């Protein structure tokens, strides 16, 4: 199963980009023997529209265009469900067993994502009630994907 992270905004060079790449590489190495492969980060250009609603729509269209056909869609949303790491691992296992071709995690821009993209999501995932910068959310998601792989592999990284 392919694992994609589609995010609005480009991560600039620096420690955040390096940490995201490090977790992505670790997730891919851990996930490959488990059937989780082709970890890919797709960066979507931020809309330049003046109106927040228009920005949200433009960015959501661009995000929707990169979602593979028949992919499980997970939207990162502060009003979504708070899952523990084992819960996320269980969902990845379930989708893999269902022979889903891909799972696509969506990280919207500062204005969020359009309602039709939220409706398309199988899961709305939150990392708590706090508002996080998109770069940090990307790193947190990649770490959780790595952690989920270690849980599925029985690796001792996760100690809950």
pLDDT for the residue 160: 63
At 134, is the pLDDT very low, low, confident or very high (cuts 50, 70, 90)?
confident
Element (DSSP H or E) covering residue 4:
strand 2-8
User: What would the mean pLDDT of 59-78 be, rounded to a whole number?
Assistant: 96
pLDDT for the residue 73: 98
pLDDT for the residue 131: 86
Domain containing 20 — which CATH number? 3.40.1280.10
CB 38 within 8 A of CB 2: yes
User: What would the mean pLDDT of 91-95 be, rounded to a whole number?
Assistant: 97
pLDDT for the residue 17: 94
How many domains are there within the chain? 1
Decide if 81 is inside a domain. yes
Decide if 158 is inside a domain. no
pLDDT for the residue 8: 97
Decide if 25 is inside a domain. yes
Decide if 29 is inside a domain. yes
CB 17 within 8 A of CB 11: yes
Domain that holds residue 49: 2-153
If DSSP states are collapsed to H, E and C, what string results for 36-96?
Answer: CEEEEEEEECCCCCCCHHHHHHHHHHHHHHHCCCCCEEEEEEEEEEECCHHHHHHHHHHHH
Identify any residues that bridge with 3 across adjacent strands, giving them in sequence order: 103
């Amino acid at each position: 199963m392919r694992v994609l992270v589609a995010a609005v905004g480009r991560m600039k060079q620096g420690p955040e980009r390096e940490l995201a790449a490090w977790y992505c590489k670790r997730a891919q190495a851990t996930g490959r023997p488990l059937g989780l492969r082709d970890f890919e980060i797709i960066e979507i250009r931020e809309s330049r529209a003046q109106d927040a609603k228009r920005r949200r729509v433009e960015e959501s269209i661009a995000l929707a265009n990169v979602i593979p056909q028949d992919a499980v869609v997970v939207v990162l949303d502060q009003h979504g469900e708070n899952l523990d790491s084992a819960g996320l691992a269980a969902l990845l296992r379930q989708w893999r067993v269902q022979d889903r071709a891909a799972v696509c995690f969506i990280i919207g821009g500062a204005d969020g994502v359009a309602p039709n993209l939220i409706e398309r999501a199988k899961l709305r995932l939150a990392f708590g009630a706090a508002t996080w910068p998109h770069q940090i959310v990307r790193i947190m998601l990649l770490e959780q994907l790595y952690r989920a792989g270690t849980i599925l592999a029985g690796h001792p990284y996760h100690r809950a």
